[in-house]
Amino acid sequence: DIQMTQSPSSLPASVGDRVTITCRASQSINDYLNWYQQKPGKAPKLLIYAASSLLSGVPSRFSGSGSGTDFTLTISSLHPEDFATYYCQQSYTTPSFGPGTKVDIK
């Protein structure tokens, strides 16, 4: 099974900050990497698929990059509604998720 790790696990930030979250796979997954946002009590929402493709309707302040084993999710300027937990997920083999990064108020 492919193991996914994320850093940091917690990220205090302020509105307007540029935020970067890192995800690493235990082996190469090419670009089979997706990013989700989850708010408390809600289902996850897909933001980015195939490492860098923005889902239609997702604000352009979200972007993804990377290939192989190392990936990043960047929020260029944090909005109040972006405080949430973010998960990466690989789809190269049986799906697995990273442990999550909680972006909270500094």
Partner 1 sequence: QVQLVQSGAEVKKPGSSVKVSCKASGGTFSSYISSWVRQAPGQGLEWMGGITPILGPANYAQKFQGRVTITADESTSTVYLELSSLRSEDTAVYFCARGIAGRTSAIPYYFDYWGQGTLVTVSS
Binding to partner 1 by residue 94, rule CB under 8 A? yes
CB of residue 18 to partner 1, shortest distance in Å: 25
CB of residue 76 to partner 1, shortest distance in Å: 22
Q: How far apart are CA 77 and CA 79, in angstroms?
A: 6
Q: How many residues bind partner 1 (CB under 8 A)?
A: 23
Q: How far apart are CA 16 and CA 76, in angstroms?
A: 8
Binding to partner 1 by residue 68, rule CB under 8 A? no
Binding to partner 1 by residue 44, rule CB under 8 A? yes
Q: How far apart are CA 51 and CA 41, in angstroms?
A: 26
